[in-house]
Amino acid sequence: MRYAILGTGIVGRTLANKLASLDHDVVIGTRDPQVTATRTEPGGYGIKPYSEWQESHPDISLATFRDAAAGAEVVINATSGGVSRAALTEAGAENLAGKVLIDVANPLDFSHGMPPTLDPVNSDSLGEQIQQAFPDAKVVKTLHTMNAQIMVEPSRVPGEHHVFVGGNDADAKAHVIALLGEMGWPPAAILDLGDITSARATEMMLPMWLRLWQALGRPDYNFHIQGA
């Protein structure tokens, strides 16, 4: 299957590498491929420049948001939540229409410093805003409540733990659940929380996730719902 991953950060790269290892065709989308490919300074959290990462992943190509989305069967939004809607607008509504759009972003607001807050929050969510802005896309919210490495390798956390899925389209959620299975998530670990409004609750798990990171000093943990 052809996947477009929008976003060149650690989440986008980690998902791209995993999907390519599962024999999917993967294109990473960025605003300006030439700028991304020639940047030499480290990215956020000290991750290596994209050009260095690309050298060891020659099977994954780089394109504009629009070209990546146009050629894909499934689109994954792995951009920073604050720019997600702008990036998807650049990708083009016509290139998202009728496609499963997996949203793994979080609406973290760093404008008031650390720790970040959420915007939107409570009565709205980024997942809902994306679905409203692109009504012909089939938005599914998932994987955004954990570290990128755990997204693609759930066995990094011992014992039982869960990944959440929410979206309006049953067939789209079925596709995403199957993909999660490919990535190593057992059926009992996948919790379907209903329609896209469930993103309000799951996005609000991020402040707790960040506090746990601060308290534990490491990101290899996840949520387990006892009795699920």
Read off the tokens for 120.
Answer: 């939107």
- Cα–Cα distances in Å, from 64 out to 32, 61, 70, 93? 6, 10, 10, 14
How high is the pLDDT of residue 45?
66
Give the mean model confidence (pLDDT) for residues 162-176. 98
How high is the pLDDT of residue 222?
98
Confidence of residue 7 (pLDDT cuts 50, 70, 90): very high
Four-way CATH pick for 2-216: 3.40.190.10, 3.40.50.300, 3.90.1200.10, 3.40.50.720:
3.40.50.720
pLDDT digit string, tens, across residues 82-136: 999 999 999 999 999 999 999 999 999 888 888 888 999 999 999 999 999 999 9
Concatenated DSSP letters of 107-147: -EE-TT-SS-EESS-SS--HHHHHHHHSTTSEEEEESTTS-
Share of the chain above pLDDT 70, in %: 99
Token pair 């009504």 in the structure block, residue:
135
Of 32-46, 66-80, 101-115, 189-203, the one with minimum mean pLDDT is 32-46
Cα 101 off chain centre by:
10
| Domain regions of the chain by residue span | 2-216
